[in-house]
Amino acid sequence: LVSRQTKSEDTIIRVKNAVFGGGSHVLIAGPCSVESREQLRAMAAAMKSVGVGIMRGGAFKPRTSPYDFQGLGLEGLKMLKEVADEYDMVTISEIMTPSQLESAAEYIDIIQIGARNMQNYDLLKAVGQTNMPVLLKRGIAATLDEFVLAAEYIMASGNEQVLLIERGIRTYEKWTRNTLDISAVPLLKQETHLPVLVDVSHSTGRKDILLPCAKAALAAGADGIMVETHPNPQAALSDAAQQINIDEFYSFWGGLRGSGLYK
């Protein structure tokens, strides 16, 4: 079902006034984790002031250590919805279990399946049984075959609104958090009809090469970019090192638009 051979035209996914796929680009920004209303409001105001209307923010966080901040859970999703309603934004947030899905659905617009859960088949089937758009992240060590088959699980359960996002894979390279597999972009565009996005934050894990990586992604045919942004990254409860502040976000966004690659 994901294959271009089955459906030759691009799948276009519309969520409120956001359009994924079909030739136009999207920028998704927002914090790694939802931390407070004030944090979300500061970020939402900055984003809206420059016309960016799709906000990410994790509330159920898949942390490597059980002792790290695990997210605000449903309370966090309620905050995200409250602020998104105030600022008229489209929201994306991760869920990790089928049981979270039911309660989460009314608070968010797009469900994120994180890299660690790309092969959680019960979860894939559960989101496949909803009619909500799903942002599926590539697994930490997933081949493209495994990635598209994970998308196939969602589609085979009846949900055609799947967005693919490359977020870097684990290699021996240590200068970046993961290795951004730019070749995944044209390959996924060629082999599937689904929108393909690139998460420049989790793939690189660093702030200084976000813009060139985002440009490379668009040049390679990506339908959009995700970047982690926080009003005060040093104080962030997760991924503090890779999140950019509001001024850095403005210059990233300006650079991307100024490149002429962003349509």
- Minimum distance from CB of 73 to ligand PEP (Å)? 14
Give the nearer residue to ligand PEP in terms of CB position, either 41 or 116. 116
List, in order, residues 6 or more apart from 138 with CB less than 8 Å away: 115, 118, 147, 164, 165, 166, 167, 168, 169, 181, 184
Q: Which is nearer to ligand PEP, 44 or 227 (CB)?
A: 227
Which option in Mn ion, ligand PEP, none does residue 189 bind, with CB closer than 5 to 8 A by kind? none
193 binds, among ligand PEP, Mn ion, none (CB under 5 to 8 A by kind): none
Among 239, 252, 253, 256, binds Mn ion (CB under 5 A): 239
Tokens 């859960």: give the residue.
117
User: Looking only at residues 35 through 74 of this chain, which bind ligand PEP when binding is defined by CB under 6 A?
Assistant: 58, 62
49-to-5, 22, 52, 67, 255 alpha-carbon distances in Å: 41, 25, 8, 36, 16
Which of the choices Mn ion, ligand PEP, none does residue 166 contact, using the CB cut-off of 5 to 8 A by kind?
none
Read off the tokens for 241. 């090192």
Run of H or E residues at 94: strand 90-94
| CA 189/CA 187 separation, integer angstroms | 5
- Considering only 167, 193, 207, 230, the residue that binds ligand PEP (CB under 6 A) is 167
| Shorter beta-carbon distance to ligand PEP: residue 10 or 236 | 236
Contact region with Mn ion (CB under 5 A), list: 60-68, 97-105, 237-245, 253-261: 237-245
Task: Tell which residue, 129, 123, 134, has the closest CA to residue 93.
Answer: 134
Decide: 149 and 121 in contact? Cβ < 8 Å: no
Position 76 contacts ligand PEP (CB under 6 A): no
Query: Is 128 an interacting residue with respect to ligand PEP (CB under 6 A)?
Result: no
Q: What are the CA-CA distances from residue 73 to residues 70, 100, 147, 206, 228 (Å)? A: 8, 9, 27, 26, 19
Q: Which stretch binds ligand PEP (CB under 6 A): 23-31, 108-116, 119-127, 144-152?
A: 108-116
Q: Does 177 bind ligand PEP (CB under 6 A)?
A: no
Assess 32 for contact with Mn ion (CB under 5 A): yes
Distances in Å between the alpha carbon of 207 and those of 222, 225, 244? 20, 14, 6
35 vs 239, beta carbon nearer Mn ion: 239
Residues that bind Mn ion (CB under 5 A): 32, 239
